[in-house]
Chains A and B, each alone.
Chain A
Amino acid sequence: MAHILFFLLAFVCVISVLGMIISKNQAYNALFLILAFACTGGLFALLGAPFIATVQIIIYAGAIMILFVFVIMMINVREGLPPEKKKWTVYLSIGVVVVFLVELFFAVKGTLVPLGTAPVEHAATPANLGRILFTQYLYPFEITSLLIIVAIVGAIVLVKKKEEQ
């Protein structure tokens, strides 16, 4: 059962990312990306991480993609991109991909072991995660809130129209 679910989610995820590569329309790209993020959230739930799965759906597939869709709406490029003229980026991407494949093959080679079953005290429930987040990782957590405030202020200051214009 879990295998069927994994292969279904993985298939949909990879297919939607491929669709994002093939499609020329930015709005379609955003929708494909939402599908891919939702499938990744399902995979997180399959890995026994319900809190991260929820955060993935709400933050990634919800908030971040809403931001993307808003910017696509504001930019509103009517004419599509002209067909590709320069092909060197394709060759560069092929080279980078081959290097990554070799490197990651060596990284993955040793991981052919089954997943262990988590003992109860380390289960990734939201309660356990919140406890570790507010004890061991308290300072990174607070710094993250500062980072978000800085990002909000920075985004507003960047996009705000000048008064004298």
Chain B
Amino acid sequence: MIPLSYFIILSVVLFILGTIAFFIKRDLITQFMAVEIMLNAANLAFIAFAKASNSLDGHVIVFFIITVAAAEAAVGLAIILLVFRQRKTIKSEDIREMKG
């Protein structure tokens, strides 16, 4: 059997890579993708712990996380599209003031 720690270490690595990508990248879409990577790392940890504790609750939580991520992606990408229409840019450093 594969030890649980392998999956947790992979989850940690993915989460940290997502954090690095979020801070290094400067366009909104790629930063949003980095958030999705972090969500995936959390999902991996959930499934690994659910397997280790013989429980189905982790699977249910991952199911809900995926659903909420889909809703979040729809609304977030709509907001990014709206920002691009108003400012003609998606660079996060160009979007400094929040005015309607």
Residue with the highest number of chain A CB atoms closer than 10 Å, among B26, B40, B71: B40
Which chain B residues (6-32) contact chain A, with CB distance < 8 Å? 6-10, 12-27, 29-30, 32
Min C-beta distance of A164 to chain B, whole Å: 16
Q: How many residues of A contact B (CB 8 A)?
A: 80
Quote the shortest CB–CB distance from B9 to chain A (angstroms).
6
Min CB gap A88→B, angstroms: 10
CB contacts (< 8 Å) of B3 on chain A: these are 112-115
Contact call B55/A133, Cβ cutoff below 8 A: no
On whether the beta carbons of A44 and B20 are closer than 8 Å, the reply is no
* Distance between A39 CB and nearest chain B CB, rounded to angstroms: 10
Interface size class of B (residues with CB under 8 A): 35 or more
Bound-state CA distance A77–B56 (Å) is 44
The binding surface of chain B is classed by DSSP as helix
- In the assembled complex, which residues on chain B have CB atoms less than 8 Å from the CB atom of A8? none
Whether B47 contacts A52 by the Cβ 8 Å rule is yes
Contact of A47 among B40, B48, B56, B93 (CB under 8 A): B48
Cβ contact within 8 Å between A71 and B5:
no
Residues of B within 8 A of A43 (CB): 7, 10, 44
Known: A63-B70, A71-B77, A151-B75. A13 touches B23 (CB 8 A): no
Residues of B within 8 A of A (CB): 1-10, 12-27, 29-30, 32-33, 36-37, 40, 43-44, 47-48, 50-57, 59-60, 62-64, 66-75, 77-82, 84, 90-91, 93
- A sample of 17 more A-B contacts (CB under 8 A), given A116-B54, A151-B72, is A2-B1, A6-B2, A6-B6, A13-B14, A20-B21, A29-B30, A44-B47, A63-B70, A64-B70, A75-B80, A81-B26, A89-B24, A93-B24, A96-B23, A97-B16, A111-B5, A129-B56
- List 27 interface pairs A-B (beta carbons < 8 Å), by A numbering: A6-B6, A14-B17, A20-B30, A26-B27, A47-B51, A51-B63, A52-B66, A59-B66, A64-B70, A67-B74, A71-B81, A75-B90, A77-B90, A100-B12, A107-B8, A112-B5, A114-B3, A114-B4, A115-B3, A115-B48, A117-B1, A124-B51, A137-B60, A147-B71, A152-B74, A155-B74, A155-B77
